[in-house]
Structure formats: C-alpha cells, structure tokens
Amino acid sequence: MLARAEAREETIMKRTLVRLLGIFVLVITTLGLTAVNALAASPGGWSPTGALVVARVRHTATLLPDGRVLVVGGQTVDLGNITTTATAELYDPATGTWSPTGSMITPRSRHTAILLPDGKVLVAGGRNNNLAIPTAELFDPTTGRWSPTGMMNVPRDFHSATLLADGRVLVAGGISTGDGKDNAAEKTAEIYDPATGAWNSVDHMAQSRWGHTATLLLDGTVLVAGGTGPAFDGNYTVRAEVYDPESDRWRNVDSMTTARGFHVAALLPDGSVLVAGGLTLPHNERNVTAAAELFQPATRRWARSDTMSVARGAGPYGAGLLQDGRFLVAGGRTTTAEIYNPGSGTWSMTGSMAVSRTHRHGACERHCPGCRR
C-alpha cells in the first residue's frame, strides 16, 4: 500500500510539472486576446510573440504533449456583437506563431479543458446561447479533429475539472440552467471515464459553488476551495472541502482565512497548496485581494502566507509553477507580475507585461465596444 501511495504521489507531481512546463505561453493564453507575450530568455523579462488568429475571452488553453498549446472556444466581439465561438487554434513555440485547427462541434465559453493521459483533450460544459450546456467532446492533436463523447448529467459552466491520479476526470460545481433552473449554483459532481466515454454522478459537495478552484493533492484526493454560492450576490466563501475518489465522499476541512472567488491555486512541490488573490467581500467587481494562504494536507488546515504586492482578481489570471518550484502570477487587471518562493515564503516583483490582461475582461486585439483593458 505504501509503495502504491508513493507511486501515485510521484505520478501526480510529474503530471503537474509537465503541464506547467508551458507556463511561459499558458500564463498569457489564458488571459488576453491581444498579441501574446511570453517570458523572455532573460530573467524576469517578457517579449512579444505571435498574435492569436481570433481575438477571444473566456476560452481555455491547454499544453499538449508535443509542446504546442491548444486554445479553444470563448467569446469574440465583432462590431459590438458578442458571439460564442467553436474555433480553435494551436501555438507552436518553435515558430512563435498561431494556426487554426479543427473547430469544435459546439460553440462554448466558460468551459473546461483537460489533457488526458492518451494525449487527447477533453472539453466539457460551458455556455452557449446564454445557457449552460452538458455536451463534451475530444480533440485529437494527431488529426486536428474533434469527436463527441458522453454527455454530462448536469449542464454547467464556471465549473472545475480535475484530472485524477487514475486518469479519470472529476467535474464539480458550476452554474446550471434548464429543467426549471435559472442560473442555479451547483453542488453536484460527476466523473468522466476515458475508457468508456461515460459520465457517472458521484457524491455531491456540501456547498453549492462556482468560481472556485480544485487542486489534486499528492494523496489522490481533490481540494476544492472558495468560490461563490447559490445567492449570486458575490457572497464569496471561505469554506473548503476535500473529495476522496476511493470512498466517493466529500468532507469539510478547515476554512480559508480570506473569502475569495476567481482566485488561483497551485500544488507546491512539498505537497501544500498555495491560494492567492481573487475577488473578495464585500462584493464589488473592483474589490480584489492580495492575500495568499497555504493549505497543509497533513493537518487539513490553512495558514496565512506572505501577501502579494499587487491585488489580483476578476478572472483566473495567469499563474503557474516554474520549473524550479516557484509560483508565477501575472495580470489580473494589471501589467505586473510577481513570483512566490516556497523556500522563503515571500513574494517578489518580476518584469511587467506590455499589456494589462484578465480572463473575465479581455483586451481585444481590435478596439471594440464592451471590451475593457
């Protein structure tokens, strides 16, 4: 049992590091619509790279095994009209350019995208025509084509999706519509099995939530933290809970020290989870926090960490682990970026981007009504 647990921890850490090797591109593709920036070879510097083919926001960006980045869906603005798109494109770091690839079957924004162990990308849920959708589809990087897969049991957007240690995918929470629901916050959860292409409902969370984070821990359980609940009044929560796939049970854990939603979270090399920034109370679109805190799985408790120099929120802004184990955050209605050092427990500013970026309010490549920088 001990050997199996150690192997599982090693698999989770390797998978986490592989996903985050593309942080230099992914930090930005998850944020903005203008010409994309990447970290330059010089420490703390940013340099321009190719612009996206289609300006978009509320899309996803996924690092593929061959080093390319897949950007999918989102919303576009043309002559003041907001449209949900099915288009997808690929970034090639060797050339610094983007090229169109096959479009999804269903246009969607506010969806999730997960790289599966076989190299395909699972896209699930999201919103189209102002309704949450239950459909899911698979992208094959070798062919550039999409194929349908099983439909979720609950239509949802602004949910979380987490690749489990056994290769299945846990989806939790989000906003649902239809069947008498009018933008209802969800506490339901379900698991996708790539072997069968089917979704199975599992134990539901203790609290309805959306705009939360879900982080795979080294023991194979999943930590869900923060977000906002059923009232839709921006009542961000401090509550957190952990899901155990082996027992199919959620259990409440210690609450965070700061209520937050639309924040970022990362599994650090020592197995702890760093949570930083986000929208907070009292509810206001401009009320963002610089507070950060650490969750220790061994004690199931949170402790305040060093505060960021700049408050960041209004989306998942760019964030991810660097290869040396430090944690980079960038943007969030600002051009600034900073790095958290787990060894010292402190943040330090690094080079600023050329363009202010967020996920919720992207800066379009063209000047267009409704887009904010």
- 162 is in which domain, residue-wise? 2-350
Question: Is residue 40 very low, low, confident or very high in pLDDT (cuts 50, 70, 90)?
Answer: very low
Residue with the larger pLDDT of the pair 334 and 327: 327
Residue 12 resides in a domain: yes
Q: Decide if pLDDT at 38 tops 80.
A: no
Tell whether 357 is covered by a domain.
no
Residue 328 falls within a domain, yes or no?
yes
Q: Report whether pLDDT(16) > 60.
A: no
Average pLDDT over residues 189-198: 99
Determine, yes or no, domain membership for 371: no
| Ranges 71-80, 224-233, 301-310: which has the least confidence | 224-233
pTM for the model stands at: 0.85
Residue 205 included in any domain: yes
78 pLDDT band, cuts 50/70/90, is confident
Contacts of residue 186, defined as CB under 8 A and 6 or more positions apart, other chains included, come to 154, 156, 159, 173, 174, 175, 176, 208, 210
> CB of 224 within 8 A of CB of 205?
yes
Q: What is the pLDDT of residue 289?
A: 92
pLDDT > 60? residue 153: yes
pLDDT tens-place string over residues 42-62 = 466 778 889 999 999 899 999
* Residue 359, in any domain of the structure: no
Residue 362, in any domain of the structure: no
Does residue 363 fall inside a structural domain?
Answer: no
- Count up the domains in the chain and report the number: 1
Mean pLDDT of the chain: 83
Contacts 24+ apart (CB under 8 A), 156-159: 156/125, 156/132, 156/186, 157/109, 157/110, 157/111, 157/125, 157/126, 157/127, 157/132, 157/133, 158/110, 158/210, 158/211, 159/112, 159/125, 159/186, 159/210
Assign 196 to helix, strand or coil: coil
CATH number for the domain harbouring residue 251: 2.120.10.80
pLDDT digits (tens, 9 = 90+) for 251-279: 999 999 999 999 999 999 999 999 999 99
